[in-house]
Homo-oligomer: A and B are copies of this chain.
Amino acid sequence: MYMSKLVGKTLKKIDDEFYLSSQELLIKSGMFRNIDSGIFTVLPLGVKVLDKLVDFLIKRIENLGFQRIYLSNDSEFVKNMSLSIRNEIKSYKELPVFLYDVQTLKRDKVRIKEGLFGAKEYKELRGCSFYKEDDDLSNKCSEIIENYKKMFKEIGLEMLSLSDYNPKNSGDISYSFVVKADWGDKVIYKCKDCDYTSLEEVASFNIDENASVQEAEIEEIYTPDIKTIKELENFLGIKKEDLAKTLLVKIEDEVVAVVLRGDRELNLYKLSKVLKVSVHDIKMAEDEDIKDLNTVTGFVGPVGLKGVKIIADREIYKGGLFIAGANKKDYHIKNVVAGRDFKADIVADVSYVKEEDRCPICGGSFVREYAVKIGGFYDLGKINEIKNFNYKDSSGKTREIVGIYHYIDIYKLLSVVIEKHHDEDGIIWPIKIAPYHIIVSILSIKDEEKVQLGEKIYEELKGANFDVILDDRNERAGVKFKDADLLGIPVRIVIGKKASEKIVEYKLRWESEKEELKVHEALGKTMKLLKREEII
């Protein structure tokens, strides 16, 4: 590519304000243009970048056996995918099947300051693998995930696959692909002493199992007009931990009471797993929903509560005396002992972790970190989006197909790569996804000798199947150097003063030194570097 022809200027500054430097760099480098709130056009250099990234992902995923399909954007992914191949799978011999597509999707709510991150349109690589009903999926998942980790490493990202909740609650397997980043919106709890690392949503923690067992009978206390935990704390002069708060939630038409310690927050993700429903199906109960229960809003408690299932957090059940609502206006009950004064239908961990909690593995203390989620991976279980998605097993019996879904958010991935690979001058592309491997810069395009040498080197490298861009613009050397840095091309070859001696300047984007080399040495060094990275 001749840079003088490339549509898309580099910019010194931009009007838009983004909170990530990657978003600025995408625009300053002339790769993307923000033409309206959250609406982007990808200019030719950006197309090259995106195509490189997508090709990189595709090659690796196809090596794992995934085959590409083009799905219509017109209906729900899993349904569409299953309908598309229902008739292609008849027998157990045809399983497993691995399919993927790359799709442009629309976001409901644009987040302008996030640039491409929150753009109206986003691109996803979405994979689905289908298995026999009794296949051991956890092994198969590990294999795919390990390969994804390797793949991300190739483009300079330390990807973590952390257990996460399964949004459909359709199986035990669910991972998020995250990369640590201070600006990320995902919270991670990491043990300071052992390897335990978990997303906040599903992080477990240690509780002291040996609570002192005190003997005391329950006793009603008059708490007029006190409805919040804060008010109760002040009124009784107690700590939040001494309270057992009871929350009423609704799943479809059923109301469920959840009892947890006053200082804890209900974790809906953990609760959804306990209740075996999708997290999206859990709502807080409204006054209307509880009008037939023998209780009063603000004074709900587990003792004597009738007609609902009671889920108690394990911290409540480990022992101790609690203060709880009395199900009667202006009254609470003290000295409540779980198991003695009320029976829970289920005891489980349904609380959010807190920073002062302890590692569930070794009891070490936690450090709270941030990460960005680039993709996810989860068990679809049996596909119930369509009917008769099945196969015949070796004995001829009809069995159901099970599936695993995963996705990668490509724009996010691109942004994170830049976020992790740039300096104050611009992008520093990992070689495997660099839009061009080499930039050949002719310092004075008025000098015929320089131009000829530059074009010769350009043609030679192109002939060797590298991606080369020739800076043949009528610009000053300073501008050319600045732009080369901004664009982030790994190898820079400058045709300068010593062109007549066949000496050029060779520099790698991530190194500060440059060297003067004979042309053939510079070419040799370039090819050696790129071959090491398996570019050809």
Contacts and interface: CB of A to CB of B under 8 A. Distances in A.
Copies of this chain assembled into the complex: 2
Interface string A61-77: 00001011111111100
Contacts of A80: 35, 41
Interface residues of A, number: 40
Given A7-B99, A39-B74, A69 B47 contact: yes
A489 to B, nearest CB: 18
A42 B70 contact: yes
Interface stretch (A84-92, A227-235, A349-357): A84-92
A9 interface: yes
Give the residue among A6, A68, A80, A83 with the most B Cβ atoms within 10 A.
Answer: A68
Contact of A7 (B67, B75, B106): B67
A67 B88 contact: no
Given A33-B84, A47-B69, A68-B47, A75 B8 contact: no
Interface string A366-381: 0000000000000000
B44 A67 contact: yes
A391 B42 CA distance: 22
A218 interface: no
A41 B104 contact: no
B73 A104 contact: yes
B7 A40 contact: no
A50 B120 CA distance: 27
A69 B73 CA distance: 21
A121 interface: yes
Contacts of A134: none
A50 B72 contact: no
A67 B6 contact: yes
A110 to B, nearest CB: 10
Contacts of A33: 84-85, 87
Contacts of A68: 44, 47
A289 to B, nearest CB: 38
Interface in A15-72: 30, 33, 35-36, 39-44, 46-47, 50, 65, 67-72
Nearest to A48: B68
Contacts of A83: 35-36, 41
B84 A35 contact: yes
B121 A72 contact: yes
A344 interface: no
A277 interface: no
Contacts of A173: none
Given A6-B67, A85-B7, A97-B7, A41 B120 contact: no
A50 B68 CA distance: 12
A36 B79 CA distance: 12
A75 B39 contact: yes
Nearest to A104: B73
B74 A120 contact: yes
Given A5-B67, A7-B69, A43-B84, 13 more contacts: A7-B99, A30-B88, A33-B84, A33-B87, A35-B72, A35-B83, A36-B75, A43-B88, A44-B99, A46-B70, A72-B121, A74-B121, A104-B104
14 contacts: A5-B67, A7-B97, A33-B84, A33-B85, A35-B80, A35-B83, A36-B83, A39-B72, A40-B72, A44-B67, A47-B68, A72-B120, A74-B106, A74-B121
